[in-house]
Structure 1
């Protein structure tokens, strides 16, 4: 792990670890490590309490416990389940074992239209109420929904708000935490010909009161081995667009410069990497920057983050 210190003044040694680049998909959000935060209402829904007509429980699928949306299926005895679980149980009612057939519970679907329910992230600060059939769409984009851990060096299923994840990254992943909006990193690898599934230790910067994740890694782009550096913003995309960052690498009178907008951690690490939205260095050029002897990779990457007015 790189030593601590000021991101602006000290050169940081980043050591290599191995990863499959996938941040593991989360377990159910009910079991996640999530902080509860106070907030203001979101647009698109009512602010208040949900309908209390006793029908809510009937709309829970008895298998997955999620709310059911059309088509809602039922067996000849009236037991209901969602369309996804109908496939899982191989068309056999899990309650009475009768064949399900293709019977729709149209009455329950109609009743659902009259319901108003709270967002599932109510305990995280979203206090708005939504019509039954718009609730799911809202939840897919609710600004209070938790974030996945942005660490890419190992599979991690932790979810939470930004303060939770910052603490988690520091205490559980032992990442480097630095203050300031400029950085000067030196990346070293003893065998530069090994590039597959390799990533360097994540660094997190506290800048303008927000947190940014600096990634650097090696992988195969088609048949070409490359190195890539990019920045991710710990927050939503709408906020990420308020910032710009630059990266620079070079030696021997030559340099590469990248300027872009940090990607939100709503986008997975692999999605950003595969989109090639960052500074990409071909291995031959990286070795030239390292001294040209092809014996060891030594790259110095400098950069800064600034806020657009």
Structure 2
């Protein structure tokens, strides 16, 4: 259902507006953005830092196609040009340098060199100062606590990847997100035509409390064939730290209420994954209209909440 031409509007007390989204973030686009930002700052590789000792070998291990480190199996063409196993598929088994067929030749000598190397984590400049054997480096980086975070702003397909302080600046300046101090909140969500609820989300709101940041999502979508509204909280940090906190959400009217209590989900998990897990306060449309009062033709839903830290 295309909501863009209806003329209806969402509003939130804190200057919310409607954003349309398929809720999908392109991982490859995010990685490309990160690589572009940090590629010139790799320890041991940047001559400006005075670290030349491994630069020549590292250049040999850089795939000419994706520019990432090559991990065994490393392939080569009959002329000796190398590339990684992923890009071998991408280039349809044809050497990107000399255009000869690659065949199935392995560069065993370069694989041996790779196995003997020790390298810093790619997130060294974000705070990780550990050194790893070449074959364990990739596994570490997949779970490194210093790896950058994806922008949590749903609906924008934003490719920004950065640390939390930079992310907060990005949310405020680029997405015009409201940032509030305090551990309680009270939001009123309004929509003139509540019968249109497919894949729509209100503007993100961020809360600063306990020295951390939390983002509140509120959106409308179809759960199967049933139109629903859903509110949930995400934590700007890792899952381990997120589990130290709890939050509650409440909505109601006419002496009736729904209450949800849960653990905020880390923004390491995609927005779509959290939404599809239904880990939040879900309100059927008919009930949401009942809570709105009046003639039940307009959504006027007030959601209150609280965040606290577990001892």
Deviations 1:213-264 (A, max 9, x none): 0000000111111000000000111110000000000111111100000001
Cα gap change, 1:92/1:179 in structure 2, threshold over 3 Å: closer, same or farther? same
User: 3-state DSSP class of the match of 1:28?
Assistant: helix
Cα gap change, 1:210/1:77 in structure 2, threshold over 3 Å: closer, same or farther? same
What is the Cα deviation at residue 17 of structure 1? 3.0
What is the Cα deviation at residue 52 of structure 1? 3.3
Deviations 1:139-174 (A, max 9, x none): 011111111111113221111111111111111111
Alpha-carbon separation, structure 2, partners of 1:92 and 1:122: 35
Q: Could you say which structure has the higher helix fraction?
A: 2
Count of paired positions? 289
Alpha-carbon separation, structure 2, partners of 1:228 and 1:140: 31
Q: TM-score, normalised by structure 1?
A: 0.88
Cα gap change, 1:153/1:33 in structure 2, threshold over 3 Å: closer, same or farther? farther
What is the Cα deviation at residue 13 of structure 1? 6.0
**2:238 aligns with one of 236, 239, 242:** 236
What is the Cα deviation at residue 113 of structure 1? 1.1
Tell me the residue number matched to 2:262.
Answer: 260
Matched-pair contact (CA < 8 Å) for 1:33–1:158? no
Matches within 5 A, 1:68-217: 68-217=70-219
What is the Cα deviation at residue 53 of structure 1? 8.0
Cα gap change, 1:212/1:21 in structure 2, threshold over 3 Å: closer, same or farther? same
Alpha-carbon separation, structure 1, partners of 2:294 and 2:11: 25
Tell me the residue number matched to 1:29.
Answer: 34
Alpha-carbon separation, structure 1, partners of 2:261 and 2:156: 28
Alpha-carbon separation, structure 1, partners of 2:84 and 2:165: 36
Matched-pair contact (CA < 8 Å) for 2:11–2:189? no
User: 3-state DSSP class of the match of 2:251?
Assistant: strand
Q: TM-score, normalised by structure 2?
A: 0.87
Cα gap change, 1:158/1:33 in structure 2, threshold over 3 Å: closer, same or farther? farther
User: 3-state DSSP class of the match of 2:145?
Assistant: coil
User: 3-state DSSP class of the match of 1:195?
Assistant: coil
User: 3-state DSSP class of the match of 2:301?
Assistant: strand
Matched-pair contact (CA < 8 Å) for 1:33–1:159? no
Greater RCO (CA < 8 Å, at least 6 residues apart): 1
Matched-pair contact (CA < 8 Å) for 1:215–1:229? yes
What is the Cα deviation at residue 51 of structure 1? 7.0
Matched-pair contact (CA < 8 Å) for 2:202–2:219? yes
Answering whether residue 23 of structure 2 is matched by residue 18 of structure 1, we say no
Matched-pair contact (CA < 8 Å) for 1:75–1:101? yes
Cα gap change, 1:53/1:273 in structure 2, threshold over 3 Å: closer, same or farther? closer
Matched-pair contact (CA < 8 Å) for 1:119–1:128? yes
Matched-pair contact (CA < 8 Å) for 2:33–2:161? no
What is the Cα deviation at residue 104 of structure 1? 1.1
Matched-pair contact (CA < 8 Å) for 1:248–1:303? yes
